[in-house]
Each structure stands twice: as C-alpha cells, then as structure tokens.
Amino acid sequence: QVLDQPTVDPKPSSPKLSLIALGALLASALGSIALALLLEGRNPLLGPKDLQGVEFPVLARIPLLKGPALESDLEAETGVEFQRLASAVSLMPIENGRLMVSSSSFGEGKTTVTLGLAIALADLGFRVLLVDGDFRRAELSRRLGFTREGVLQSMLVHLRPDLDLVPTIPRQRRVMELVARGRFERSLETLHESGEYDYVLIDSAPLGLTSESALMAAAVRNVLLVIRPGTSDRNMVNDSIEQLAQHNARIIGLTINGVQTRSEGYRYARNIAQGNA
C-alpha cells in the first residue's frame, strides 16, 4: 500500500523528524511483501473482514466442507469455485507449470485446495501431476489411499484421465536433506523435461511449521497461499509471506478456504453436480 508523501514542517522538530524517519524505515522494510491486514489487529486469528482489501489477489473463496474432502465431495460441493480458481491459474504466467500450494499452519485446507484445483485443471483439458510434498504427514497420499509401506516417492499413480499422483509416505528424518541437497528440484526438472504435464501441483508442508517448505518454494518459484478465516494466525501468515520473499518465491494469489456461505449459487452448483437441477 503506497501512502502519500509526508509533509515536514520547515521549523526544526526532533520528535516529528524521528517519527518520519521511523515510518520511512518501516515502509522500506515491509515494502510490497506485507499484507496490511496482518500488521494490525489485536485478535491473532484472521477473520473474514480482515481479508477485505488485501494486497495479493484473492483467486477463490472455497465454501466450508464438513470433514475431509474426497474427489466426489470437491466436485459436488465446490465445483464452481475451483473452476474459477483453475481458470485464474490458467491465465497466469506460471514458470514451467509448477505451482506449490501451501499455508502457514495445519488445518487451513491446503490439501483440499490442491486436490480441488488439480481436478478442475484436468476438467479444463490440462495434463496435471499432483506431488505430495508434505514428507512429514503425507496428507494428500493418505487422503487418496496411498500410504502403505510399499509406496515410493518416485512411484507414479494414475488417478483419472489427465491426472496423476506422485505419493509419499510419512517420514521424520532426513526431510531437510532431501530438499536442501537438490533432490527435490532435480525431480521437478526431470518432470518438466518429460513434457508430459501442463501443470505440476505440489502440496507442501505448512510454511510456518517446517523449514524445508521455504526451500521447496525457491525451487518451485510460484506459490498459492491458502488462508482460513478463524483458523489462520496473522503473525504466522505474515512470517510465511516474509519467508517466501526471502527465498524469491512469488505468491500468485490467495485462496480463502472454509467460507461459511450457502448462497443460491452454491446450492445451484451442487444440484447440477447431483443431477437435480
């Protein structure tokens, strides 16, 4: 947010000059990476009103789903919003087609958004590869039923036409080494060189709770940040944004998840999906 240039009284006034200097320093430090809404407010949790007028574009507002969302739930309940999200993403210049979907903490819905976006992009005719990059919890693999011990990180699973998955299994040791030594980035390069996919979507671990996710973002370059009103902590979100800036990763936009609304549009979309329209 750019403020008007301050005016200075020609008469010397040390307190005013100090405040002006401090304001200029803060503005320079925060620059274009901070969300104004995250720098103010006494409630640590972000609310719906906090997410109005944010600096980054809001690409979609996903309605609240009850329980873990499977593929059928995503298509029936949130088809319209994920179609809008997929359309917005398809119009953006995404380097090498790579996009990391992340959040600041657990419970904000990044895995649901990753899966829903992948389905919507495949429905648009794009070839999509899902990569479970949450090596500690493997939530995407678990949700899709691929958490058995025989699963390998290099294993490729065909989910449906134009949609594949690279699953993983939960691990706690040597996760940072896997990313820091370039193995993850080399795998992405191999996928890109194969030319088989238009988009590679990576479901990462939360930025605010792990150290490897920021390094992954540096390799992927483009990040979709998921925020959930009433769950997301403003300080953790702000820290995540600063981490991404430090690693030269670009936030293409925000997805607001868990919006409590049952408008006619959502009911109509659900009826269409269920064949009741």
* Residue 217 pLDDT class (50, 70, 90 cuts): very high
208-222 burial, b at 16+ Cβ within 10 Å, e below that, comes to bebebbbbbbbbbbb
Burial 30-44 (b: 16+ CB within 10 A, else e): eeebbbebbeeeeee
Given this model, what pLDDT does residue 95 score?
A: 84
Check residues 267 and 236 and name the one with the higher pLDDT.
Answer: 236
Q: Which residue has the higher pLDDT, 72 or 27?
A: 72
Strands across the sheet with 157-160, in order? 58-63, 250-259, 222-227, 98-102, 199-204, 128-133, 163-166, 157-160
**Beta carbons of 225 and 254 less than 8 angstroms apart:** yes
Q: Determine the pLDDT at residue 242.
A: 93
pLDDT at residue number 25: 41
Residues in the chain: 277
* d(C-alpha 33, C-alpha 36), whole Å: 10
pLDDT (0 to 100) of residue 152? 47
Higher pLDDT, 23 or 142: 142
Per the prediction, the chain carries an average pLDDT of: 77
Q: What pTM did the predictor assign?
A: 0.75
Across residues 172-177, what is the average pLDDT?
69
Task: State residue 260's pLDDT score.
Answer: 78
Go through the domains of the chain in sequence order and give each one's CATH number: 43-274 (3.40.50.300)
Does residue 208 carry a pLDDT above 70?
yes
Query: What percent of the chain lies above the pLDDT cut of 90?
Result: 41
Give the range among 52-61, 94-103, 133-142, 226-235 with minimum mean pLDDT: 52-61
> What is the mean predicted confidence (pLDDT) over 199-221?
93
pLDDT at 30 over 90: no
CA–CA gap between residue 253 and residue 52 (Å, rounded): 14
Cα dist from 227 to 116, 148, 180, 206, whole Å: 15, 30, 27, 11
pLDDT of residue 15: 47
**pLDDT on residue 75:** 56
- Phi first, then psi, for residue 67 (nearest 5°) are 80, 175
Averaged pLDDT for residues 109-116: 94
125 torsion bin: left (phi>0), alpha (psi -120 to 50), beta (else): left
The per-residue pLDDT for 226 is 96
